[in-house]
Amino acid sequence: MSGSDGGGPGGVRAERLRLLAAVDTAQGDVAVLTVALQHAAADLGALGAMAHVRAGGASRIMYLVASTGLPRSFTRFWENIQGDGSSPPARAVREDRQVWVPEVVAPEPPVHHHPPPAPPEPRPEPGADTEPFRVPAGAGVMTMPLSGTGGPLGALSVVTRPDRRPDEAEVAFLAEVARLTGERLRLVSPAPENLSPDLLLALQTGPGPREALKGVPVASFEWDLRTGELAASDSMRDMLDDMDPDALEGRIEAWVATIHPDDLPWVLTEVDRGIRADGAYEVEHRVRRRDGSYRWVRIRGRVADYEDGRPVRVVGTTTDTDETHAALEPVGRALRHMSDGFLSLDRDWRVGFVNLTAERLLESAQALTGRSLWDIPVMRRLDDGLEQRCRRAAAEGDPAGFDVRWPGTDRWYHLRLVPVPDGLTVYIIDITERRLREAAQKAAAERDAVIGDVTRALAEAVTARQVVRAVAGSVLPPFGATGLVVLTLDADRLHLVDAVGYPPAFRERLHGSPALGDTPVDEVLRTRAPRFVESPEALVERYPRMAEYTELGGKKAWAYLPLVASGDSLGAAVVSFDRPRRLTEDERALLAALSGLIAQALERASLYDEASTRARELQRGLLPRALPSLPAVTTAARYLPAGQGTEVGGDWYDVIPLSADRVALVIGDVMGHGMSEAATMGRLRTAVRALSDLELPPDEILAHLNDIVADLGEDYFATCLYGVYDPVTRDFSYARPLLHICRSRR
Rounded-to-integer distance, Cα 500 and Cα 481, Å: 11
Task: Specify the pLDDT at position 449.
Answer: 83
Looking at domain 438-614, what is its CATH homologous superfamily?
GAF domain (3.30.450.40)
Q: What is the 3-state secondary structure (H, E, C) of 673-727?
A: CCHHHHHHHHHHHHHHHHHHCCCCCHHHHHHHHHHHHHCCCCCCCEEEEEEEEEC
| pLDDT tens readout for residues 211-226 | 433 444 568 889 988 8
| pLDDT tens readout for residues 297-337 | 989 888 888 888 888 889 988 988 887 666 656 656 667 67
**3-class secondary-structure state, position 136:** coil
| pLDDT tens readout for residues 472-523 | 888 888 888 999 999 888 777 788 888 898 888 888 777 655 555 678 988 8
Structural domain 217-320, CATH architecture: 2-Layer Sandwich (3.30)
Among 60-64, 187-191, 632-636, the minimum mean pLDDT is found in 187-191
Cβ atoms within 10 Å of 276's Cβ, excluding its own: 14
Rounded-to-integer distance, Cα 280 and Cα 277, Å: 8
Max Cα-Cα span within the chain: 155
User: What percent of the chain lies above the pLDDT cut of 70?
Assistant: 81
Rounded-to-integer distance, Cα 367 and Cα 378, Å: 13
Domain 623-735 has CATH 3.60.40.10: yes
Residue 37 has pLDDT above 90, yes or no: yes
Nearest alpha-carbon partner for 50 in 67, 71, 26 = 67
pLDDT band at 742; cut points 50, 70, 90: very low
Q: Give the residue ranges of DSSP H helices in 460-579.
A: 464-474, 476-479, 504-510, 520-527, 536-542, 547-553
Contact present, 282 and 145 (Cβ < 8 Å)? no
Rounded-to-integer distance, Cα 300 and Cα 178, Å: 32
Per-residue CA distances from 601 to 331, 461, 562 (Å): 65, 8, 14
Please give the angle made by the CA atoms of 261, 197 and 350, to the nearest 5 degrees. 90
Among 132-136, 147-151, 338-342, the minimum mean pLDDT is found in 132-136
At a CB cut-off of 8 Å and minimum separation 6, what does 393 contact? Answer: 399, 400, 417, 418, 419, 424
pLDDT (mean) for 28-53: 89
**Cα dihedral value 433, 379, 185, 430, nearest 10:** -10
Residue 200 has pLDDT above 50, yes or no: no
Structural domain 329-430, CATH architecture: 2-Layer Sandwich (3.30)
Contact present, 9 and 173 (Cβ < 8 Å)? no
The alpha-carbon radius of gyration of the chain (Å, integer) is 48
Cβ atoms within 10 Å of 678's Cβ, excluding its own: 26
DSSP state of 214: T
Residue 26 has pLDDT above 80, yes or no: no
Rounded-to-integer distance, Cα 571 and Cα 599, Å: 8
Residue 532 has pLDDT above 90, yes or no: yes
Rounded-to-integer distance, Cα 189 and Cα 263, Å: 6
In our burial notation (b when 16+ CB lie closer than 10 A, e otherwise), range 580-607 reads ebebeeebeebbeebbebbbbbbbbbbe
DSSP state of 457: H
Q: Considering the chain, tell me which residue range(s) the CATH 3.30.450.40 domain(s) occupy.
A: 17-119+134-184, 438-614
Contact present, 152 and 146 (Cβ < 8 Å)? yes
Amino acid at position 266, single letter: W
Task: Specify the pLDDT at position 681.
Answer: 82
Q: How far apart are the first and last CA of the chain?
A: 104
pLDDT band at 578; cut points 50, 70, 90: very high
Q: Considering the chain, tell me which residue range(s) the CATH 3.30.450.20 domain(s) occupy.
A: 217-320, 329-430
Structural domain 17-119+134-184, CATH architecture: 2-Layer Sandwich (3.30)
